[in-house]
Structure 1
């Protein structure tokens, strides 16, 4: 049985919900050094190198997801975005200088990667990772 073959499609945009949109947009500008490619009262879209992140005010989510509901940020994270970097420790120092608190790390993982994690103001988890395989 064949389906629509969605597995061969490219994931182009991830929509993240934010209760405090303005604070989250400000965080993305400061931490990722990006400006929105689109912005209105309810959303802001940031283009990363290989994907776009759409920050959407949580109150607007039902229009996209009804009857599904958006979990509250306090319920915990269910995913982790990873950005590869050259030097995790250097990026951690830069994040600290911006007032970003780390969730964990830097730590060497048994699979040959050094990582550290942080969260944006809406509770979305981000990881920076550096290969340390020898």
Structure 2
């Protein structure tokens, strides 16, 4: 058995959210259904995995509605923070917090995914 764990992202627009993560270097592995607006998209970047599903998912799967406001915070390491932020700005991705230097040497900025969830982007000593 392969040991795996990955988050599900509840999204209003599954395809737009999957495309956002593709801009951050994730690769789409599977989409169901294969054509049209998907109800499930799995993505991978290195050993990191995630899946994007509609906000109706928790209600249909286990009877609890998805929360309002930010439903998670994602943290993604990038090679070049400035280039990544420029590419996202060119794609009209909202900047939540400009890049700041952290005491431990990383530079971190926050952007919003298509549903407004915060995504921290970091570059620095991990590279």
When normalised by structure 2's length, the TM-score is 0.76
Aligned residues: 120
d(CA) in 1 for partners of 2:61 and 2:46? Answer: 25
Flag structure 2 segments of 5+ consecutive residues without an equivalent: 33-37
Q: 1:79 to 1:20 in 2, by over 3 A?
A: closer
Structure richer in helix, relative to its length: 1
Corresponding residue of 2:92: 99
Structure 1 residue runs of 5 or longer lacking an equivalent are 1-9
CA RMSD, Structure 1 to Structure 2 (Å) = 2.6
How far did residue 127 of structure 1 move? Answer: 1.2
Q: Which residue of 2 aligns with 1:52?
A: 49
What is residue 3 of structure 1 aligned with on the other side? none
Q: Which has the larger radius of gyration?
A: 1
Q: Match for residue 130 of structure 1?
A: 123
Per the normalisation by structure 1, the TM-score is 0.72
Counterparts of 1:80 and 1:99, CA distance in 2: 19
